[in-house]
Structure 1
């Protein structure tokens, strides 16, 4: 059973999310919080596997809470929830350690599946969402960064190819077809690259690729 914590300042939203997730059968909502402070306290007390975290909340927002939670070893996987296609806070949240974001109007089946995928440590964002997100980030940061390129220099040629493909929003299966390698091999390259770059997820790697101007 995957343990989920819901964080949103609107009770109606939390109630709807709870109904959707608990109807899935393999997901258990272990608690709710109304803002970032309550989220941090509840996470320490309840030890959820996944947190669905609203971005904009009174008192303390989801970005601040995510930054704090992600610093702890064994932190829960955090998915940001937003009503906006691209929220100005999302880029910073991903850098802070969130594993991705979902729109609040995400279909119930997709919401439950996203929680399962994240809990398993697999792909953090759908390729479509990744492309949209990274595209918006690229517009905001058009100049290549020497620091980002220096970090990527630690990768092997093959790892760099794979990470650049991640930066274009490709899934492991798509990367495998493009580079003519098994999907399991792609996943291994991604894992090694993330470890070398000291990143927690593929979205952070994609942002780094765009900062380096290599996407």
Structure 2
């Protein structure tokens, strides 16, 4: 059976696994973005917390994926929940770091001018600092997303959704004619999803960033 014949016979499964992969990554990125931006703002405003926040979120990335997925099993069981939690943890550092970098890079003179116009701290943050820092924050979100697309494939070890199921099935059937087709289908699926996510966030970045900051 050729690879294209394999794709034709397993097309329904390819679509189902692709949808599962996209959803688990999208939800993880959304949660990581909300938490990461909030932690980044906190670290920017309270400098004594900055080192601790970066250290903790950075420590998450040092935990091997296999180990973290397995560690989640006694807490949330098999399936999507352990993958979702692990991906969220892995996605925090780039967003937190880029939020801090973006906010720090805003010209203090602009912030002082806004303060002189009567804007309070919350208004300055929402109307001046975050919009100006947004391109840098968006870069962190894009990096996180591409990274999580790859890590999500490992979630198949705990019966998580996505193309990792094809890859693990293929590895478990090494020596059979279908093994390479399974692995290749999984890898190509992951790559295509990564490209689609990157294109999507590139478009979102352009639409949500003012022309003067592009």
TM category (shorter chain) comes to under 0.3
TM-score normalised per structure 1: 0.25
Higher helix residue share: 2
TM-score normalised per structure 2: 0.25
Which structure has the greater CA radius of gyration?
2
Q: Which has the higher contact order (CA 8 A, sep 6+)?
A: 2
